[in-house]
Structure formats: C-alpha cells, structure tokens
Chains A and B, each alone.
Chain A
Amino acid sequence: MNKNIIKEIFTSVGISFFFLAIFILIIYGGFNKKIEYYSSLINTVAVNGYDDINKFEYDYETQKIVNYPDYGKKYGNLKISKINLNLPIYHGDSLSILRKGVGHYAGSYFPGEGGTIIFAAHNTANFFRRIQELEENDLILIETEYGTFKYKVNNYKVVSEKDLEAFSIQDKREILIMYTCYPINRQVVGRRTQRYVVYAYRISDEDE
C-alpha cells in the first residue's frame, strides 16, 4: 500500500480519536456520578436477592459462635435508619465482596463476640456514601441468624490508610468500626489515601 495513503489513514484515525477523547472527557466529567450510581444499583440488585444467608450456630450460654459462616458468604444485614441504609454483610472484604455489600474483615471479631468488628464498603451511592451524616448516638443494627445487635455511634474521624492504630483489634469491648475511602463526595483521579471511619459501641436494649 502507498505510504502516503497509510499516512493519511493514520492521520484521519488519529484526529477522530482526538475528538473522541475530548467527548469522553466531557461526558465522563459531567455524568460520572450518574454512571457510578446506576452501576452500583446494578451490582446491588444483581446480588442482594439471590444470596442465601449462610447459617451458623451460636451458643447463648457461652456467648460463642459455633460453626462460623463460610468465608465469602453473606451472614447478615447492616441497617442504619438515619441514612436509609440496608446492606448485606459478607464474611471477608475482598474486591469481589465489596462490589456486593459490606465486607467484614476476617481478622476481626463477629457481632456478639465482644471484640472489635471491622466493616468496609464502597463510598458510592448505595453503599457508604452517606456515613458522613452519622452523628454521636445514632443507632446501628446488625441482624444475623442468631440475633440482632445494636450499636450507638461514639466517634468519627478521617485517618490515613496507613494509620493501623485507628483500626486496632481488641477483645475487651465490642466496638464496630465502619470505614470507607475519603474524600467521599468528590471526584479524584488516582487512589484515595484517606479513610472516613465511624466508631460505634454495642448497647443493650435498655441503653437504647
């Protein structure tokens, strides 16, 4: 083929891609939030209705779980009425789990065990986008096969992703730590290196 023709084709294709790139930048910049909202809806709808809750046993006398839920399986629901949140909770927090709901960090305790529980979820519309609205004393419910556990928000802050002290695990008191990437409501190119963290302490029915 003639070199000049090849050059012409290449130039025309290049110019077409140039305008396509400008178009993508405009559309993406203007409609990115809508795209993200609808894709998160698809993820939630596609998975929520079809996962069976993974059954496991709880010994009420010793307050110990017998037969933990399988890794990667749904075992309960997280409900926060103030921000209209109702999400499935999965054992584990891999990328594929975080696309479906709340990921429970496997190296932390389970609800009812009396230690630190760490939950993560995306900072998008149907997940933890609104956790910044939570204030002290707001109520959080974790519903599982073996019982419902209630927590009250005690504190919240922004921390660096490298600040592992903010996510320290202990067994003296049942504390629920929920976190998501920060900033939440702003477009960012590249990784977010901060986390918005909410701390909630377990309460009894009388404390509510």
Chain B
Amino acid sequence: MKKLLYVLIMMLGLFIGFRNVEAGTKDDLKKKLNETYDINGEKYTIPENIKVTLNRYLDEYKLSSKDIDYILSKIDVAVKKLHDSGITDLENLDKSTKNELKEVVEDVSANTSVEATVKNGNIVIYKPDKTGVFAEISNPVKQTDFDSNYNTVIVGISVIITLVGTALISKKVRNCE
C-alpha cells in the first residue's frame, strides 16, 4: 500500500512538473519579437526589418519547441550582453559588442534548425533544407547608381597614366634640348 502511495505521489509530482514547464510555441516567439526592451534606461524594440523577416520565416517553416525555447533564451542573452556593454545608442555598437552578438547568431545556428550567418554586417538566413538563402537582413538603402564604380576607376587610372605620361614627355623634351 505504502509503495503504491509513493508511486502515485511521484506521478503526481511529475505531472505537475510537466504542466508547469510549458514548451515554447511560435506565438511565444512572435510575442518576444514584439516586446520593448529596456537597455540602460533606453527603450528599444527589435527593428522592423528583422521582425518582418523572422515572422515570415516562422509562418513558412515549423520550428520544434526545443528550437523555440533555445531561441527565446538566446534573445535574453543578447539583450543582457547589450545591457552589460553599457551602451545607450544601438546605432553605434562597438566592435566587441558586435562580435558578441555575432556569436549569439552563430550559437543559434549551431544548436537549432535555424541556420544563419553574419556576412559583411548582414544577417543571412538559410532555408532549413539548406537549398538556398531564405533572406538577407541588411541595410534597406542600397547603392543604385550603375556607373559610379566604373567612373571612379576609369577616371582614376586615366589621371595616373596622364601624370606619368606627362612626366615622361617632359623628361624627353628636356633631354632633347
């Protein structure tokens, strides 16, 4: 009888334990993306371009509860790192803070089905089946003048050659005199 009682108490304990540890859901993650964070007295929200891209990813692909819980925990880690760095202007992060955030992205990529890298300051998110890029989170303003690079290179090279040529011609003229 006593043995049965202990088993029942243990099962009850386990049941309560499991009920209290609720696995993360997609909605939990979306809610987290919409939160306002207090970082050293300044209020910040996750930038809209990141929210749009991540919400799109969550709508298109299914993440396991384990992955969601891990990502939720890493968002807290990233916020803590920003807080600990003492910064108040997220537009001007120092190199070491940027590297720490990059490590968080790489950590998530290594430990969940969400694969992402930081390349040239942009976050590249890949499809879970690894068939290609899902999206690239970057600065919204791009360079859209077709000829600027060509102009600079061509004019630059021409100016250098002109200067060298001028020097050679004047030397030749001096030698002839």
Tell me if B52 and A189 are in contact (CB < 8 A).
no
In the complex, A105→B53 CA distance in Å?
Answer: 10
- List A residues 68-112 near B (Cβ within 8 Å): 68, 70-72, 92-95, 98, 103, 105-109
Question: Is residue A132 contacting chain B, with contact meaning CB distance below 8 A?
Answer: no
Q: Which residues of B contact A103 (CB under 8 A)?
A: 142
CB distance from A175 to the nearest CB of B (A): 13
Tell me if A191 and B148 are in contact (CB < 8 A).
yes
Tell me if A187 and B141 are in contact (CB < 8 A).
no
Tell me if B168 and A123 are in contact (CB < 8 A).
no
- Sorting the interface of chain B by its residue count into under 10, 10 to 19, 20 to 34 or 35 or more gives 35 or more
Tell me if A71 and B134 are in contact (CB < 8 A).
yes
Tell me if A19 and B165 are in contact (CB < 8 A).
yes
Q: Which residues of B contact A161 (CB under 8 A)?
A: 141
Question: Is residue B49 contacting chain A, with contact meaning CB distance below 8 A?
Answer: yes
In the complex, A181→B145 CA distance in Å?
Answer: 5
CB distance from A71 to the nearest CB of B (A): 5
Residue of A with least CB distance to B151: A189
CB distance from B114 to the nearest CB of A (A): 15
Residue of A with least CB distance to B49: A107
Write 12 A-B pairs (CB below 8 A) sorted by A numbering: A21-B165, A28-B155, A66-B59, A72-B132, A98-B142, A107-B53, A122-B145, A164-B140, A169-B140, A179-B144, A188-B148, A191-B148
Residues of A bordering B, CB below 8 Å: 10-11, 14-15, 17-22, 24-25, 28, 32, 36, 39-40, 64, 66-68, 70-72, 92-95, 98, 103, 105-109, 115, 118, 120-124, 127-128, 161-162, 164, 167-170, 179-181, 187-192, 195
